[in-house]
Amino acid sequence: MFDAIMDSHYIRSFQAIFPEGLILTIGITLAGLFFGFIIGAIVGLGRLSKKKIINLPSLWFVEIVRGTPMLAQILFIYSGLTEDIIGFNIGALPTAIIAIAINAGAYIAEIVRGTVHSIDKGQREAGRALGLSERETMRLIVWPQAFKRMIPPLGNQFVISLKDTSLFSVIAIGELLYLGKQYYNITYSPFQTLIVVCFLYLCITIPASFFLRRLERKLDV
């Protein structure tokens, strides 16, 4: 019986996917979110600017990215952009990181805008009363408080971006779903293999969600 279990498609598909697919999936997510946070912070603060030359491009970026399917964005970066604009293929892995960064950046921009906007105006007035410039007030008073409030929604964005990596199977990135499809295309065992793929996603998302709930209670936000 033990030999039958070990020789089942559940175990064999797990061995075909883990750990390479899991490591690559997490790596793409973290790298994309790192750059996505930088993009989101810049664009989010741009959305708060009263200058139209800064505010409008930031708004357009958010609306265009959030208003188009991520799958179309991936294919645009991988095929349309590289072939028609820059003239060479940047590769599947850089495409994946760029796609996560751009897509997450648009949503993080709204998180940044919302959390900064939620800080009481009296905080800014207090900073100016202390003789701080507008930039110093933002950096020393407003941003630390806003960042604390950003942590829970940023954690949720991590979970969303992690699941979005499954779309990269269309450009042959060896993440969880792609390796799973490779296995069941050979063995004709989609049911068992996809259960294993979903299980591996849940192994990341459930602990992450639990951690976020505890962090949210601890931060009292």
Buried-exposed string 157-168: b where 16+ CB fall within 10 A, e elsewhere: bbbebbebbbbb
- Domain encompassing residue 70: 22-177
pTM across the whole model: 0.89
Flag whether 149 is in a domain.
yes
199 in a domain, yes or no?
A: no
Cα distances (Å, whole numbers) of residue 186 to 4, 20, 42, 190: 20, 18, 46, 10
Query: What 3-state class would DSSP assign to 10?
Result: helix
Spatial CB neighbours of 31, under 8 Å, sequence gap ≥ 6: 97, 100, 101
| Backbone CA torsion sign across 129, 132, 138, 139 | negative
At 130, phi and psi to the nearest 5? -80, 0
Give the whole-angstrom CA distance, residue 77 versus residue 160: 20
Note whether residue 194 is domain-resident: no
Whether residue 2 lies inside any domain: the answer is: no
Residue 112 lies in a domain: yes
Decide if 7 is inside a domain. no
pLDDT at 137: 83
Residue 75: give its domain's CATH number: 1.10.3720.10
Largest separation between any pair of C-alpha atoms in the chain = 76
Distance CA 120, CA 107 (A): 23
Q: In this structure, are residues 177 and 197 in contact, taking their beta carbons and an 8 Å threshold? A: yes
Which residue is associated with the tokens 């003239």? 87
pLDDT at 71: 93
pLDDT of amino acid 2: 41
- Listed residue (3, 11, 4) closest to 193, CA to CA: 11
Q: Is residue 51 part of a domain?
A: yes
* Residue 213 token pair: 């709930």
What pLDDT is recorded for position 3?
Answer: 46
**Within 10 A of 175 (CB to CB), how many other CB atoms are there?**
27
Question: What pLDDT, on a 0 to 100 scale, did the predictor assign at position 217?
Answer: 80
pLDDT at 7: 52
Number of domains into which the chain is organized: 1
Q: Nearest CA to 177 among 189, 165, 161?
A: 165
Count Cβ neighbours within 10 Å for each residue of 9-19 and write b for 16 or more, e otherwise: bbebbbebbee
Token pair belonging to 207: 């602990």
The pLDDT tens digits along the chain (221 residues) read 444 445 588 888 999 898 899 999 999 999 999 999 999 999 999 998 888 999 999 999 999 999 999 999 999 988 877 666 666 778 889 999 999 999 999 999 999 999 998 888 877 777 777 777 778 888 888 888 888 889 889 989 999 999 999 999 998 888 899 999 999 999 888 999 999 999 999 999 999 888 888 887 877 65
- Does 171 fall in a domain? yes
